[in-house]
Amino acid sequence: MRQMVQEKQMSSGRRKPLLALIVWLFGASSAFAAAGDPTLVVRDVIWGFDGTVMRDRFSPLTFVVDNPTAEPFDGVIRLYRADFSGRRVGGFYDELIYLAPATQRYVQFYPLILGDMETWMLEWEGGQAKLPTPRYGPPARVLLTQDGALAERGGAVKRFPARSFPPFTTATDTLSSVVLDHAPDWEAPRREAFLDWLKQGGGLHLMQGADGRPPRFTGDLAVLNEPSDEFRIGSGTVKRHAVGRSGLTSDYVRRQLDPPPRPVEETPEEIARANQDLTYSYPLEQWRMTTGVFNQLKRMVKVEHNWGVIHLLSLSYVAVLFPGCFLIGREFRNVPATFGAIVGATLLFGAAFYLVGNRGYGESDGVFSVALAEHIDDDRYDATAWSSVFVTSGGQYTFLHRGDERIYSDATDNEPVGGVTTAGSTGRFIADVPPYSTRIMSHKAVVQSLGAAAPVVIADPAAQTVFRLPKGFPASNEMYAIIDRKVFNYRRDGEFLRPLGNGTPVREFLRITDSDFLTDVPFGEHDTILDKRLSQLVRPLMLYSLRLTTDDELKAFYLPEGQAKIFIYAPLSGSFQSLFLPGAVGAEATNVEPIPMPAQAGGVLYSFNVAI
C-alpha cells in the first residue's frame, strides 16, 4: 500500500513540471499572437500643458501613437468621455491619421473638460486605450523644450515639447506663461497661435540659451527681438532674464516669475456686504460654468404642448387598461383576447402620445447663444460660445460657425450623443437631433467682429478713467471696467465711456447667487424676461474671463497698477451666429455654403485688456 502511494506521488510530481510547461507554452503562444495583431500603442500622454487641466475649458490632449506592426494604419482615431462604468457619454472627437509600419507620430485633441474624475477613452479599428485621469490645476507655466529635451528631469518649471504647441490659439486657454530659451522651429500656424496667445495677455520669459546668449527669432517671431528688459506685445508682457535654464530654481521662480502678492485691503463695510446672504451664494469651487450657462439657455426655449389633450389621453389609457381590459378578460375568459386588447391599447395610445407630445404648437427652429469675445488685436477676437439649438424637424445636422481655428464640444457628460466634432478651419459639429428637442454645443473660434476694435484711454479733467470707443462699436447698455480691486459701472456718452459711482469690490460684484441667476422663468413672462435672463449671464462670463475658480482666488484678485479690464455686453451679432449646412452630412461636405440658423437671440461680452 505504501509503495502504491509513493508511486502515485512520484507520478504526480512528474506531471507538475509537464503541466507547467504546457501552460507556459500556451501563454507564450497567446502573447505572440496578441503581439502579431494589427493595433496601435498609445504612450507619453500629456493633459493640458503641464499635466493638469481646468474645468469648463478646452484643453490640449497630446500623446504619441506607435504603429509596431508591419501593416500601415490609415483610419480614424476617436476620443470620447466615459462614465464610471465605461459607458460612453457625449459624442466623439475624431482625427484622421496615417502611420506607416514601425513609425510613430504626435496626435493632439482639444476636449472640453466638464466634471471631476473624468474617464477618457481612445478607440480605433482594432483596439482601444484608456487614458490617465486628468488632474486639475491653475493655469499652467511651462518651459518649452526642443525635441529630446523632455528627458531632462527636475527644475522648478515643468517641460512641454515645443513641437506640440497647439496650432490654434483657441486651445491655449489653460496656459498662463511660457519660459523660452531657444527659437522654436514652428510652421506658420503655431507661430501665429503663439503670438495671438501672447497678445491676449500671456506672459513670456526669455532665458539665455545653452550658449549663454538670448535666443534670436526670425519671421513672425522677430518682434520678440526687442532689446528691452521688459516690453509689451498687445496685452502680453515679455521679460528678459540674465540666467539660463539651470538658473530656474524654486527661489528664482518665486522672486522673478511669480506676481508679487498683495494683502487684501477692504473696509469693514465692504467685508460686511461681501459676507451677507452667503447662504444663498454658490462657492466658486462648486460652480460649473458650462452647466449653469446651458441651464439658463435651455430655459429660454418656449415649448408649448396641448396639456389638456395629454392629460385626457393619460386618463383614457388608464381606464382602458383597468377596468377595460379586466372586463374583457372576465367577459370572454380568453387569454389571447385579453393580451391582444392590452397590446392593442398600448400601441394605439403610444401613437397618440407620440403625435400629441412630440410636436409643438407654433414653434420654429431657433438658437439661444451667449459668447465671450476676448480681444486679440484690431477687430479680431478669441471667442468662446455656448449655444442651445431647438429644432422642429429631426435629423442629422451639421453645425458650424464663422471664424478660424474652430474647436467644438457637445458639452454633455450624462448621456450618449450621436455626434462627432472636428477641429480646424473646417471644424464642425455633426449631430443627430430628435424633432422638437434641444441640442447644446460649445465652441471656440478666432472671429473678426467688424467695428469692435479696442477702446482707447483718454485724459479726463475730473481725473476719472474714461474710454473712447471706436466708431461703429455695437450698441450696449452694460459696460464695466475692473481697476485694481473694484468693478466700475460705465455709461455710454456718445463715443465715450464714463464711470458711474465709486465702484464695487470685485469679490462682492462677481458672486454667483441663487436669487439672481438660477430662478425659473415665471409662467407667461418668457418674452418679457428674455433680455434680463441674457444679461444675468454677464457676471459668470466675467468670472470665466478672469479665470477665477475658487472663493480664495476671487477674494485675493487684483489687477496690477497701470492695467484695466473692460467688459462691454452687446446683442449677438452675425459674427457669432450659429450656421448649418442644408442637406449636407459629414465632415466631407466642404463645398456647401452654410446658412444661419433661423431666429437667433443672445449676447456677446467683449473683453479688453487696456493699459492706463
pLDDT digits (tens, 9 = 90+) for 307-334: 677 778 788 878 777 787 777 777 777 7
Q: Compute and round to an integer the Cα radius of gyration of the chain.
A: 30
Give the pLDDT band of residue 280 (cuts 50, 70, 90): low
DSSP letters spanning 513-581: EHHHHSPPPPTT-HHHHHHHHHHTTHHHHHHHHHT--SHHHHHH--PPTTEEEEEEEEE--GGG-EEE-
Residue 337 CA to residue 328 CA, distance in Å, equals: 8
> Using an 8 Å Cβ cutoff, are 392 and 95 in contact?
no
Give the pLDDT band of residue 266 (cuts 50, 70, 90): low
What is the sign, positive or negative, of the torsion defined by CA atoms of 78, 79, 81, 85? positive
Residue 182 CA to residue 207 CA, distance in Å, equals: 8
pLDDT value of position 16: 39
Task: Return the SS3 of 235.
Answer: coil
Mean pLDDT across the chain, nearest whole number? 82
Between β-strands 119-124 and 127-130, what pairing exists: parallel, antiparallel or unpaired?
antiparallel
Greater confidence, 207 or 305?
207
Helix (H) / strand (E) element for 12: namely helix 2-36
Which amino acid, one-letter code, is at 581?
L
Which amino acid, one-letter code, is at 500?
L
Give the pLDDT band of residue 90 (cuts 50, 70, 90): very high
Give the pLDDT band of residue 29 (cuts 50, 70, 90): very low
Whether the per-residue pLDDT at 459 is higher than 50: the answer is yes
* Grid cell for residue 167: 496650432
User: Residue 345, class by beta-carbon neighbours within 10 Å (0-12 exposed, 13-18 middle, 19+ buried)?
Assistant: middle
* Grid cell for residue 554: 476671487
User: Tens of pLDDT along 3-26?
Assistant: 433 443 434 444 434 333 333 333
pLDDT value of position 186: 96
> Using an 8 Å Cβ cutoff, are 128 and 77 in contact?
no
Of 144, 129, 37, which is closest to residue 77 (Cα–Cα)? 129
Task: Return the SS3 of 165.
Answer: coil
Query: Is the pTM value of this prediction over 0.75?
Result: yes
* Grid cell for residue 504: 464695487
> Using an 8 Å Cβ cutoff, are 386 and 290 in contact?
yes
Region 81-105: mean pLDDT is 92
How many residues comprise the chain? Answer: 612
Residue 233 pairs in a beta bridge with 236
Q: How many CB atoms lie within 10 A of CB 476?
A: 19
Q: What is the dihedral of CA 84, 87, 92, 95, to 10 degrees?
A: 80
pLDDT value of position 98: 94
- Residue 41 has φ and ψ, to the nearest 5°, of -120, 130
- Residue 142 has φ and ψ, to the nearest 5°, of -135, 155
Residue 578 CA to residue 571 CA, distance in Å, equals: 14
Region 355-373: mean pLDDT is 73
Residue 336 CA to residue 324 CA, distance in Å, equals: 15
Least confident of 87-96, 283-292, 374-383, 414-423: 283-292
Give the pLDDT band of residue 35 (cuts 50, 70, 90): very low
Of 271, 460, 435, which is closest to residue 365 (Cα–Cα)? 435
In 402-449, the DSSP E strands lie at 404-409, 416-422, 428-433, 437-448
Alpha helices of 262-421 — where are they, by DSSP H? 268-275, 289-299, 307-319, 326-332, 335-357
User: Tens of pLDDT along 225-260?
Assistant: 999 999 999 999 999 999 998 888 999 998 999 877
